[in-house]
A and B are shown apart, each in its own frame.
Chain A
């Protein structure tokens, strides 16, 4: 019967949530906004290409002076540039509209700026003057170096392939840090999107005066378990919906929307951080869910419970105040506090787990804290719901609820003397 009722509660809670227009409006808003952004990106990229092509083919008259002596006249002629008698003459020609642009190359372009003067064509169109001045200088320098390879090396950063070793085994580096950090993203998504629903899930019984009907057909433990499981299922559904546009965009429209070419095959899925990340995610989600459900059980209205919701949301962002220390000095006191304080632990530990600075013992302690905390919060939520949800109009006194007599086993009756 209890099993049957648990599945009944999970099914009811799940389908009544996803059966609401409000749920789909909120859930689909994210992928729709992302699709719109991707569409705009696609359109913008096309427009940018067109503008760049137009800029390349754009011709305009140029005069220049070259105190450095780097630019030979024949090379300047390729750009349609002619020498000006002096900088003053060049500027005057631009001012009077006789030429479109004048470039004043200084004696030492490495330390002094090249001065560019041009007829105003608008904020973005004006960039073509500096682009051509840069191109004239670069080509002149390349010609002097005489080697395309050396020129390329001088103009760009060298590609560096780094390998690091941990206990004699090559570590995955950045590619191994990314997968465990997905759990952090999932954690944020779930709490931010589902937090309100967690909070209102037990308030609904109270606000609708359904509590007594429910408590005479269901154990509070079954009801709360059913609600938490339904929230897990709803969270999973939302995550699938939210990530779908990214996955579709990556698989089918990567070129069009300029998604960086992330080589998924290069990602390293190391078992230990992945398992640790998963356990922290589940423990953290359970702790937050049970806590919000417990808060809902003592509050008379959603409005009053909202203040506590803000506190819970703040707790998942607080670790970012110490983010630089989390990266650079994980043993710092504040990082340690955030790692072991139950409500900041999920974010801090997931971040450290991704960065590889969460030791095995530390991970075990954090996981234990989260799971024990989640279980305690679950029983607290059940207790508060059982004794608090009857207080329809007022906030429940937690002390009173906790100090109410214990339920004795059925065999001994309800006699409590």
Chain B
């Protein structure tokens, strides 16, 4: 990892008697794209807000570029919050120019940049329109424009694709790619695992306020079993110290194996134990599977609690 632009160490956050983040530590390298993953309520947004000084942390160090974030540094930051909106009764161009001014651009530069951006996202004819006359997707585009104004060094995007249709999601990803090409560091909070696999260099998985996994995508995949063998078969899969059965259906199973395991040995062992193997393929565990594995317990626990309450 390159030199850290974001440094979080031993961060703890309490709301009253409730601790929502416990001793969280991680770094985001300069120029990298970092995935901040977690189920709803796991503490992602709280961490971002504390990093940006919106929340006061209970304990810990949260630094951007070697010091706590101050609003004066807002010109170098592009932040797309989860709870997003703009001044709905104002004209698109006025709102964009205002934020451009707050980020340190002069009026003309802010206006020129805004008009060029609106042209790029096919909203040039809406520059003089009131924001609340735009569709939800169009408003999202304007919000994204405000976020990337002044080519920020650090982009923090909290669920950036929320509310975007597939076409606009593609456009958004192109814009993020463009910012990355210009050297921006990107922190993405998202549930879209395919986006994470495509864009992110490293990720952190947060569960109940603690880091469940942290590292490059390969490292995280290895941490959760690394590889999976997908087997179509007849007959029961026997237990074995060489693998862990993660999916066990009538004629289909998934076996999680470590990096040092030999697939050929496993295949031989299955055949020797009487399993009729019809297909046998090895793949890496996907982030989505890891996500389900990590947070599935949580949801199941939630569902059980719900069922008990219902009963």
Contacts and interface: CB of A to CB of B under 8 A. Distances in A.
A410 B86 contact: no
B87 A210 contact: yes
A217 B53 contact: no
The CB with the most chain A CB atoms within 10 A, among B50, B55, B83, B94, is that of B83
Contacts of A392: 83
Contacts of A1: 72, 75, 104
Interface string A189-213: 0000000000000001000111011
Given A2-B72, A219-B71, A213 B146 contact: yes
B57 interface: yes
B236 interface: no
A166 interface: no
Contacts of B68: 410, 413-414
Contact of B87 (A16, A218, A410): A16
A218 B70 CA distance: 9
A390 interface: yes
A415 B55 CA distance: 13
Interface in A324-371: none
A50 interface: no
Interface stretch (B59-67, B168-176, B260-268): B59-67
A25 to B, nearest CB: 15
A382 B83 CA distance: 21
Given A1-B104, A12-B98, A410-B67, A416 B77 contact: no
B71 A216 contact: yes
Interface in A370-393: 386, 390, 392
Contacts of A416: 56-59
B61 A414 contact: yes
Contact of B54 (A8, A390, A415): A390
A209 B102 contact: no
Contacts of A215: 52-54, 71
A212 B83 contact: yes
B74 A415 contact: no
B79 interface: yes
A27 to B, nearest CB: 17
Interface string A391-417: 010000000100011110010011111
Interface string A5-16: 100100010001
B101 interface: yes
A216 B74 contact: yes
B70 A410 contact: yes
A213 B83 CA distance: 10
Nearest to A212: B81
A208 B69 CA distance: 24
Given A2-B72, A414-B61, A216 B54 contact: yes
Nearest to B103: A217
Contacts of A410: 67-68, 70
B74 A218 contact: yes
Contacts of B71: 215-219, 222
Given A404-B56, A410-B68, A417-B59, A208 B102 contact: no
Contact of A213 (B58, B67, B86): B86
Contacts of B58: 405, 416
B304 interface: no
Contacts of B86: 208, 210, 213
A216 B87 CA distance: 16
A204 B87 contact: yes
Nearest to B72: A1
Contacts of B56: 404-407, 414, 416
B99 A217 contact: yes
A8 B101 contact: yes
16 contacts: A8-B98, A204-B87, A208-B88, A209-B81, A212-B54, A212-B83, A212-B84, A216-B71, A217-B102, A218-B102, A405-B57, A405-B58, A410-B70, A414-B62, A414-B68, A415-B60
3 pairs of A and B residues whose beta carbons are closest in the complex: A209-B85, A217-B74, A212-B81
Given A208-B86, A216-B52, A417-B59, 5 more contacts: A1-B72, A210-B85, A216-B79, A390-B54, A413-B61
Interface of A: 1-2, 4-5, 8, 12, 16, 20, 204, 208-210, 212-213, 215-219, 222, 386, 390, 392, 400, 404-407, 410, 413-417
